[in-house]
Amino acid sequence: MADRVLVCARTVQALEGAHKDVLKQAGFEIVPSKLDRHLTADELAERLPGMVAVIVGLDEVSQKALDGADILKVISMNGVGLDRIDVEAATDRGIVVTHTPGTNADSVADHTLALILAQARLIPHHDRNVRSGGWTRIAGRELKGRVLGIVGVGHIGKAVALRALAFGMRVQAYDPFPDRAFCSTHGIDVVDLKDILATSDVLSLHCPVTPDTENLINASSIATMKRGAVLINTARGELVDENALIDALASGPLSGAGLDVFTTEPPRESPLWRMEQVVLSPHLGGNTREAVLRTAYQSALNVVAVVRGGKADRVVNPEVLREIRKD
């Protein structure tokens, strides 16, 4: 009987491509979740028995979900963020966790610049105005010479920096573990969090959600930001206290925001919907056909590498892989 792979990530299920071919060629049976949404812990637990691997998106891979696993060897995250996966619980059970850093970096970086440009040139406002029969021309802002602060200088943060530099922006970065060689090569100033908040015209978030970064942008941190700054978030909604952001946009400290992610997705009704200075999109920064296929292919390769004994270099808990291969 073929080893079975549960596929919960919706794009991996829906699209045909090399990702499915590589699994089939390696002798796996693909078992789709058949749900067009993210799975709850209970739904995942019901489907995990008999599965040697699972490919997930933003599904709830909690300790409760993993209680359903009996022969599971690998959780392959179809993306980068691990905030929906209990890595500690997986590690305790001897389950390898993998992800796909870098596969959607260009896509997310493009979308980040799109939000920055939409804010600078008031594109959503002008689009609505012309469609309604208006011809009101409100002056926007050039990007050249403005200061972009990037919080998190990983694959995506670097890609955003290179694009912003091409527009003539001054780029500065904050990261607890910065790539100083990259920053030095490209003339990017490495600063602390206090300085990046106080001096950035545009602040763009590209860091993971951790206990240290959850609600990183809150009432206190917003109070220290440069007056009139714009906040861009294409990372995770949990990085921002949405109520504090709404207050800051309504009362004036911030002049605008571009948001691709939200604390609750899909988001509930919010005052953000009615704010002209806010540009919104439905968590699609990484959703280009090219990035989707690259990510799906890498998530499939990760399954094959772990289960079939190949080179696995995108493992989050390598100690588990070492233990498995030692046996």
- State the average pLDDT over residues 260-288: 94
- State the average pLDDT over residues 61-84: 96
249 in the same domain as 199: yes
Give the number of other Cβ atoms within 10 Å of residue 191's Cβ: 17
In three-state secondary structure terms, 151 is strand
In the listed set 280, 303, 318, which residue is the last one of a domain according to the structure?
Answer: 280
> What is the model's pLDDT at position 77?
98
| Residues 212-247: tens digit of each pLDDT | 999 999 999 999 999 999 999 999 999 999 999 999
Task: Give the pLDDT band of residue 115 (cuts 50, 70, 90).
Answer: very high
Give the number of other Cβ atoms within 10 Å of residue 288's Cβ: 16
Task: Give the pLDDT band of residue 1 (cuts 50, 70, 90).
Answer: confident
DSSP 137: -
Tell me the average pLDDT of the chain: 96
Using the predicted structure, report yes or no on whether residue 155 has a pLDDT greater than 80.
Answer: yes
195 in the same domain as 68: no
* Residue 283 among the catalytic residues: yes
115 in the same domain as 19: no
Using the predicted structure, report yes or no on whether residue 295 has a pLDDT greater than 70.
Answer: yes
| Residues 15-29: tens digit of each pLDDT | 999 999 999 999 999
> What is the model's pLDDT at position 36?
86
Can you tell me the distance from the alpha carbon of 175 to that of 190, in angstroms, rounded to the nearest whole number?
8
Set 236, 242, 294, 314: catalytic member:
236
Range of the domain at 83: 3-103+288-326
- State the average pLDDT over residues 1-16: 93
Set 29, 46, 88, 265: catalytic member:
265
> What's 132's domain CATH number?
3.40.50.720
Using the predicted structure, report yes or no on whether residue 81 has a pLDDT greater than 90.
Answer: no
Set 4, 84, 125, 283: catalytic member:
283
143 in the same domain as 15: no
Of 52, 103, 57, give the one whose Cα is nearest residue 78.
Answer: 57
8 A C-beta contact, residue 49 and residue 68: yes
| Residues 119-131: tens digit of each pLDDT | 999 999 999 999 9
8 A C-beta contact, residue 48 and residue 79: no
162 in the same domain as 84: no
> What is the model's pLDDT at position 268?
85
Q: What is the DSSP string of 272-308?
A: GGG-TTEEE--S-TT-SHHHHHHHHHHHHHHHHHHHH
Of 180, 118, 109, 176, give the one whose Cα is nearest residue 143.
Answer: 118
137 in the same domain as 173: yes
In the listed set 243, 259, 280, which residue is the last one of a domain according to the structure?
Answer: 280
Higher-pLDDT residue of 175, 267: 175
172 in the same domain as 125: yes
* Residue 294 among the catalytic residues: no
- State the average pLDDT over residues 287-304: 97
Using the predicted structure, report yes or no on whether residue 9 has a pLDDT greater than 90.
Answer: yes
8 A C-beta contact, residue 84 and residue 60: yes
Give the number of other Cβ atoms within 10 Å of residue 90's Cβ: 23
84 in the same domain as 47: yes
Q: Give the containing element (helix H, strand E) for 255.
A: strand 254-259
> What is the model's pLDDT at position 327?
62
Domain total of the chain: 2
Q: Which residue has the tokens 């699972």?
A: 54
131 in the same domain as 72: no
167 in the same domain as 190: yes
| Residues 247-257: tens digit of each pLDDT | 999 998 999 99
